[in-house]
Amino acid sequence: MPRKTLKRILPDHKTMREHPHLQKFGRRLAEPKLWHLNRRSVAGGLALGLFSGFLPVVGQMFIAVALAIFFRVSLPIAVISSWFSNPLTYAPVFFFAYKLGVWILQMPIEHHSFDLSWQWLTNEFLLIWQPLLLGSLICGIISALLGILFVRLLWRLMVIRNWLKRKQKNGKK
């Protein structure tokens, strides 16, 4: 069953509650629904993690935690799924989101140089923030919906497979 597999690979809820960064959320982490693994909770956690991973902000993991607490879905799944956006994947993910936003807004693609400085942030970022934000939100929403569909379909297939195995096993006796 998917639940057993997830319980085996996910960190223990006590370990996550004691994490120094997550302790900022206090007693909210004691909510049992945040740690329960069912089809709805896992699908919601994956969706929120994917959505927050596409946001062009710092601290996407904390946004995923806050959203998981608010919507009461699987917190570990939300955190882990937000990690698809990391220093190795930022450039292609946000470049794709920028290109999507430019295409939707029907703007010309600007070739900008990147320099991690306050001057770049005040000059260049002001030129690209609208298509980047729009593209990121659209990518986040689409990936969240696809994540929900994927988990629900996979979970259903696993339940049917296990049910057929049990039926076949009981039929042989």
User: pLDDT tens per residue, the chain (173 residues)?
Assistant: 466 666 666 666 666 666 676 667 766 777 778 888 889 999 999 999 999 999 998 889 999 999 999 999 998 899 999 999 988 998 899 989 999 999 999 988 777 666 667 777 677 777 788 999 999 999 999 999 999 999 999 999 998 998 999 888 887 65
Do 37 and 7 form a contact (C-beta atoms < 8 A)? yes
Q: Which of 135, 123, 7, 136 is nearest to 60 (CA)?
A: 136
Do 25 and 65 form a contact (C-beta atoms < 8 A)? yes
Neighbours of 100 (CB within 10 A): 19
Q: Which residues contact 96 (CB under 8 A, 6 or more apart)?
A: 135, 139
Do 11 and 76 form a contact (C-beta atoms < 8 A)? yes
Do 81 and 64 form a contact (C-beta atoms < 8 A)? yes
pLDDT confidence of residue 21: 67
- Residue in this structure with the two tokens 């220093």, named with its chain if needed: 87
Which H or E run includes 93? helix 90-105
Q: Which residues contact 143 (CB under 8 A, 6 or more apart)?
A: 50, 51, 53, 54
C-alpha 27/C-alpha 133 separation (Å) is: 33
Which H or E run includes 173? none
pLDDT confidence of residue 1: 44
pLDDT confidence of residue 111: 72
Structural tokens at position 135: 């593209």
C-alpha 3/C-alpha 115 separation (Å) is: 45
Q: What is the pTM of this model?
A: 0.80
